[in-house]
Amino acid sequence: MDRSFGIRRFTLKVKDLPPKMKSPSKMKAMACTGYGSSEVLRAIELQKPAPAAGKIVIRVRTTSVTSGDWRIRSLEMPPGFGFVARLFFGLTKPRQPILGSEVAGEVESVGENVTIFQVGDRVVAFDGANMGCHAEFKSIKAAGCVVSLHEDIAFETAAALPFGGTTALHFLRKVDLREGERVLVIGASGSVGSAIVQIACYLGANVTGVCSSANVDLVRSLGAEHVVDYTKQDVLSLGPKFDVVFETVGSFNLSQTLMLARDGGRVAMIASGLADMILARFRGKSRGIQVIAGPAEERVEDLQEILALTVSKAFRPVIDSIYTFEEIPKAHTRVQQRRKRGNVVVTVS
Ligand SMILES: NC(=O)c1ccc[n+]([C@@H]2O[C@H](COP(=O)([O-])OP(=O)(O)OC[C@H]3O[C@@H](n4cnc5c(N)ncnc54)[C@H](OP(=O)(O)O)[C@@H]3O)[C@@H](O)[C@H]2O)c1
């Protein structure tokens, strides 16, 4: 993990500084000072990262607050993951205090041996669990999950691409979706769900999206042929008629989700608890159903693909709202409500 944003280097809170006093070697960042409500988030000042060998430093124009950021800050994890998350992210507070996993911006500087990017290039990047994107500058491996950003794509759009888009591509690949298949997307209006709906439609699937009344029109506009309003219809009453089921919310456990897949179908448990993840290999076997669960990989190829789909207008990330850097705590509160439509974007500079 890149520890260049180490919390011990904190000096002054940015909000305490008159703007002109900020040194050019410093940057503002939003730190998560412990686990809890959005009040644990503090604007601070850090050393601006220097370009290490093999890395680039991105001047962050936009970032996002994702369901991953909210989960890490609050430690509200899917069932069974609470302690595992503390081991992974930090026992009493996040080891990496600067959250945020996706950025769009311009290359500010390049380290030794970097040939694929130049200063001034527009880029979009996804650094997953390394995080560190809620800051004015972000250091990332040039050979990591970072790609050049087409000039037609606004920074606000770009920051909403990696998290939902690459997760969708990961699970779509795992289920090996084929043209004409009947697909059910539970949570069709979320970041991941809205991406799955669009890409599955693009691949020629017949998509049914599940959402509340407020999002029926949105999900239909994304291409879903059928929309089920879960406030009016019992989703489980749809029965085992789908070739592929994506559960992106955690509102149904594995046993319930399997009730929606046909024999020989596939089920992707994207927000599953630990027990369902462990049972995934065995539970669908008697009916020949393949169950996929676990974390999505961060692959530069997927970032390239989601960007290409965006450029060709086959995909557009849904943007729920846009906040300023100082409003990141408010953005967290919005995400924590679990009602956002698509993605919550943050403008940084
Ligand atoms: N496995 C992985 O690698 C991976 C990667 C990314 C995310 N995730 C997990 O996947 C989940 C989804 O992430 P996200 O960012 O897409 O979430 P999100 O955008 O925060 O989801 C919010 C959406 O969920 C919908 N929703 C809430 N309750 C619902 C229900 N009972 N039925 C249907 N829709 C419901 C809401 O729509 P309504 O207001 O219409 O209900 C809202 O639009 C999270 O738990 C996240 O931690 C896992």
- pLDDT tens digits along 187-226: 999 999 999 999 999 999 999 999 999 999 999 999 999 9
Residue 11 clears pLDDT 60, i.e. is over it: no
What lines the ligand 1 site, CB under 6 Å? 66-68, 71, 164, 167, 186-187, 189-193, 210-212, 214-215, 230, 248-251, 270-271, 295-296, 335, 338-341
Per the CB < 8 A criterion, the answer to whether 218 and 189 are in contact is yes
Q: Which of 216, 214, 177, 217 is nearest to 196 (CA)?
A: 177
In angstroms, the Cα distances linking 339 to 74, 195, 211, 320, 346 are 17, 16, 10, 9, 17
Q: Report CA torsion sign: 172, 302, 292, 65.
A: negative
Protein residue closest via CA to atom 5 of ligand 1: 167
In angstroms, the Cα distances linking 236 to 39, 42, 255 are 38, 43, 11
pTM above 0.85, yes or no: yes
Residue 73 clears pLDDT 90, i.e. is over it: yes
What tokens does 163 get?
């998290």
Question: Residue 6: its pLDDT value, please?
Answer: 30
Residue 9 clears pLDDT 50, i.e. is over it: no
Question: Which atom, in ligand 1's list, is nearest to the CA of 210?
Answer: 33
Question: Which atom, in ligand 1's list, is nearest to the CA of 78?
Answer: 45
Which residues have a Cβ under 8 Å from the Cβ of 25 and sit 6 or more positions away?
47, 48
Question: Which atom, in ligand 1's list, is nearest to the CA of 190?
Answer: 19
Protein residue closest via CA to atom 35 of ligand 1: 187
Residue of higher predicted confidence among 18 and 63: 63
Question: Residue 22: its pLDDT value, please?
Answer: 53
What tokens does 114 get?
């970097």
